[in-house]
Amino acid sequence: MERIVILGCGNPTRGDDGVGPLLIRRLWERGLPPNVKLVDGGTSGIDVVFHMEGADRVIIVDACLTGEKPGTILRVPSSEVEELPSREETHLHSIKWFHAIAIGKYLLGDRFPRSIDIFLVEGRNFNLGDEISQEVLEAIEILEEVIMKEIIKEEKGSYTVQLDENGYIRIPPDVARRFFEGCLSVAVVPKGMEFYIFPLPNSKQGGLLLKRINNEGERAVLVWEMLPPGVKNGEKKAIWDEERKALIVSLI
């Protein structure tokens, strides 16, 4: 399963410079598969190095000021922007994300991402206290769709389950038949805002009862005691992790 990290960089108090964090918030509200990690990168470039570690693919979004029309989206190869900081920029507060790419190659070794996509949005308002411009707001909507459709995509193995008001995760019939056929119980392992649901070969291994709740073959497991505070009911994204042999459900 490809591990994707999306980094939104910038300062929301400076108008169009907040394009990255705003896009991250919109993607978070939309909901993404569990293999996608969203990061509000703010203005700390050195943190980018550690967020990239172990990812297969990294997407960086930031504002720019190049003279293009405000709202223009530029897709730039990472090789064209990466650079090591100068002697004057070697303290932490001066390191930017484009420095972090170059630094990461030295520090991370084989834990460095296989690919890095960079999207820059041309801004207009960058003064402290400025509102984000309408052109940039429109660009964010376009970029959101580009990331969802072109980069993240709805991969085979991505499913939708339901978290109902009684605290059950309800697994649709097609997913249940494919991964939990003949299974009477499961192990549910919470991991942050994700649940790993492992089918158990037989009931002697304990675990939680995996109920069959209708003739269509829908199955359900009661997880309410393990739910983090504030988790809302409704549809949740899930993927099947073939390596772990587990259904990973995102609670976001």
* Domains of the chain as residue ranges with CATH: 4-152 (3.40.50.1450), 158-250 (no CATH)
Task: Give the type of residue at 193.
Answer: M
CA angle 156/212/251 to nearest 5° reads 50
Average pLDDT over residues 212-237: 92
* Contact assessment for residue 202 and residue 182, using Cβ atoms and an 8 Å cutoff: no
Cβ within 8 Å of residue 123, ≥6 positions away? 15, 16, 17, 19, 63, 64, 65, 70, 133, 136
Q: 189 - beta bridge partners?
A: 196
Q: Using the Cα atoms of residue 250, residue 235, residue 31 and residue 5 in order, give the sign of their dihedral.
A: positive
The better pLDDT of the pair 117, 45 is held by: 117
pLDDT tens digits along 22-42? 999 999 888 787 788 898 876
Whether the full predicted model's pTM is greater than 0.75, yes or no, is: no
Q: Is the pLDDT of residue 203 over 90?
A: no
From residue 84, how far is each of 70, 79, 110 by CA, in Å? 28, 12, 19
Tokens 């400076």 belong to which residue? 14
Task: Give the type of residue at 51.
Answer: H
In this prediction, residue 244 carries a pLDDT of: 85
pLDDT tens digits along 132-151? 999 999 999 999 988 887 77
pLDDT tens digits along 159-178? 899 999 999 999 999 999 99
* Contact assessment for residue 119 and residue 60, using Cβ atoms and an 8 Å cutoff: yes
The better pLDDT of the pair 6, 98 is held by: 6
* Contact assessment for residue 220 and residue 168, using Cβ atoms and an 8 Å cutoff: yes
